[in-house]
Each structure stands twice: as structure tokens, then as C-alpha cells.
């Protein structure tokens, strides 16, 4: 799969292997030893690494980043609240570096993604090639100017003025289809909801906060830092 053939793992750290020798802070692992080893491999100074197959998340950690991506906590909401399945056809805009589009492509039958900027379109296209994703079509297009597709199951808009695309989305969605606008500020939410309400049913406007915990000996408590506000998720439906 993809350019990364194996992952080396040691003491909580991953090192990708594409080709050649792998240089790590626990020594060098030669290509020759990697090719003949199974399960584990040793560096030139005798440190042992586990050899793993990279999974989708390992590969996603290596994609090129353009603008701010949608976080995994919010992608969970998008997938579950729209009921996307392997039969769904889904559109997202803008693509950015493609982070959301790539997740969607693992769950939907087909994904179409619009990106207005050529530089981001190129980054996302390179990332798509790296991940070897086949059911995604990225288009260098302005979603405010129109949507060519019809009969979509869901649309996700991660751009500053989604109200400018609301009518296009309405015409592109099938009856019962969902639209999610992902908006950092409540001022944007107000503008979007006002326009969306003219055609869509507003289901909910949600914010997700993620708080991790430390569980080590007597230190059993929430961490001080948390993943707080990223954006509001505005869920509306064509009914
Ligand atoms: N969801 C993406 C990040 C998107 S960032 C991810 O998870 O990686 C917002 C993107 O929207 C930017 O790349 C920006 O260029 C694009 N954009 C802004 N206005 C647009 C428009 N009218 N049509 C298409 N893309 C647009």
C-alpha cells in the first residue's frame, strides 16, 4: 500500500520505511536487514524495532498539509450524523489538503471534493495519489458558482461563507439528504442558519469538546490542556 511499505515501532515512536536505510534516534536500520526480517528488526547498535503494516491513520499522519484540517472528533460527528455508508455519494468543499475527503472516501461509495485554490488542489491531489484512493474526484472549482453533481446523499462545507452555496447544495442533494457547515465563529453560524432555514430543516448546531485523561499511578485525572473549540457543526436536512 502506498509509498510507505512498513512502519518501524519502538518505545511509542513510529518510523516510516519507503526505501533505503531508515535513520532513527535508536540507530540505523538497513534496507537489507528490513527486507530479510519478519516481525522485528535490529538497528546497527542492536536496538529492536517491531515491523508493522501501515494502516490508514499511519499514512494520514504523513500527508502534506495545506490549510487547517478538520479534527478527528468532528469527523466522527460528520460520519455518524449523516449516516454515510458504502452506498452514499458525498461532496465536500473546500478540499484543503484533503483530510476530510480522505476519511469520507473510506466510508462512502464515491466522494467529490471542490477546491477553489490551485495550490491546495495540487497538494490534495498529490496526497490522494500517495494514499492510492480511487473513489474520490477532486475538482479545481468554486462551489459558490455551482455544483455539477445531482442526487447526493450528503454535502459538507468547510469554507468561510457556506450560505453562498446553500441553493446549489439544495439542488444537488437528494430528498432527505444532509448538509453540514463547519464554522469556527458563531457570527458565521448565524448567517448560515438564516439562509439555510429558507430551504432546509435545521436539525442541530453542535460543538464538541475532547478532554483526555492521565491514568498513571496516583495521577488519575483529566489533563490540563484539552482540545476545546475547533468549530460549530451545523447540521441541516433537505426535508
Ligand atoms: N476540510 C479540509 C480543510 C478545508 S480549509 C480538510 O479537512 O483538510 C478550507 C478550504 O476551502 C481552503 O482550501 C480554501 O481554499 C477552500 N475554499 C474557500 N472558498 C471556496 C470555494 N468557494 N469553493 C471551493 N473551495 C473553497
pLDDT at 168: 98
| pLDDT per position as a tens digit, 38-57 | 899 999 999 999 999 889 99
Is the per-residue pLDDT at 14 higher than 90?
A: no
Q: Model-level pTM?
A: 0.92
Length of the chain: 239
Is the per-residue pLDDT at 2 higher than 70?
A: no
Å from CA of 67 to ligand 1 middle: 8
pLDDT at 123: 97
Please give the DSSP secondary-structure letter assigned to residue 132: T
Q: Does the beta carbon of 96 sit less than 6 angstroms from any atom of ligand 1?
A: yes
CB atoms within 10 A of CB 17: 20
Q: Among 94, 149, 162, 184, which residue has the most ligand 1 atoms within 8 Å of its CB, making it the best to mutate?
A: 94
Distance CA 14, CA 2 (A): 17
Å from CA of 108 to ligand 1 middle: 20
Confidence of residue 1 (pLDDT cuts 50, 70, 90): very low
| pLDDT per position as a tens digit, 77-129 | 999 999 999 999 999 999 999 999 999 999 999 999 999 999 999 999 999 99
Q: Does the beta carbon of 144 sit less than 6 angstroms from any atom of ligand 1?
A: yes
pLDDT at 175: 98
Query: For atom 15 of ligand 1, which residue has the closest CA?
Result: 117
Å from CA of 93 to ligand 1 middle: 6
pLDDT at 4: 79
Is the per-residue pLDDT at 191 higher than 60?
A: yes
In terms of C-beta density within 10 A (0-12 exposed, 13-18 middle, 19 or more buried), how is residue 83 classed?
exposed
Max Cα-Cα span within the chain: 67
Distance CA 186, CA 133 (A): 35
Which has the higher per-residue pLDDT, 135 or 38?
135
Q: Does the beta carbon of 115 sit less than 6 angstroms from any atom of ligand 1?
A: yes
In this prediction, residues 142-154 reach a mean pLDDT of 98
Q: Does the beta carbon of 158 sit less than 6 angstroms from any atom of ligand 1?
A: yes
| pLDDT per position as a tens digit, 209-221 | 999 999 999 999 9
In terms of C-beta density within 10 A (0-12 exposed, 13-18 middle, 19 or more buried), how is residue 15 classed?
middle
Amino acid at each position: 500500500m502506498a509509498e510507505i511499505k512498513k512502519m518501524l515501532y519502538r518505545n511509542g515512536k513510529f518510523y516510516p520505511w519507503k526505501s533505503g536505510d531508515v535513520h532513527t534516534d535508536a540507530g540505523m536500520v538497513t534496507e537489507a536487514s528490513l527486507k530479510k526480517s519478519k516481525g522485528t528488526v535490529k538497528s546497527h547498535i542492536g536496538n529492536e524495532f517491531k515491523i508493522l503494516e501501515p494502516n490508514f491513520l499511519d499514512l494520514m499522519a504523513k500527508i502534506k498539509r495545506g490549510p487547517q484540517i478538520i479534527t478527528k472528533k468532528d469527523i466522527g460527528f460528520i460520519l455518524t450524523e449523516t449516516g454515510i455508508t458504502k452506498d452514499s455519494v458525498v461532496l465536500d468543499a473546500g478540499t484543503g489538503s484533503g483530510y476530510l475527503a480522505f476519511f469520507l472516501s473510506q466510508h462512502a461509495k464515491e466522494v467529490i471534493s471542490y477546491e477553489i485554490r490551485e495550490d491546495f488542489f495540487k497538494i490534495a491531489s498529490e496526497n490522494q495519489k500517495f494514499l492510492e484512493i480511487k473513489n474520490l474526484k477532486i475538482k479545481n472549482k468554486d462551489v459558490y458558482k455551482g455544483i455539477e453533481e445531482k442526487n447526493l446523499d450528503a454535502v459538507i462545507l468547510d469554507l468561510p461563507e457556506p450560505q453562498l452555496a446553500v441553493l446549489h447544495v439544495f439542488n444537488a442533494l437528494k430528498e432527505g439528504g444532509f448538509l453540514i457547515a463547519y464554522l469556527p465563529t458563531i457570527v458565521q453560524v448565524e448567517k448560515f442558519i438564516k439562509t439555510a432555514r429558507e430551504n432546509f430543516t435545521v436539525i442541530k448546531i453542535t460543538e464538541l469538546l475532547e478532554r483526555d485523561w492521565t491514568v498513571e499511578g496516583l495521577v488519575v485525572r483529566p489533563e490540563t490542556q484539552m482540545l476545546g473549540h475547533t468549530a460549530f457543526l451545523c447540521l441541516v436536512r433537505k426535508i
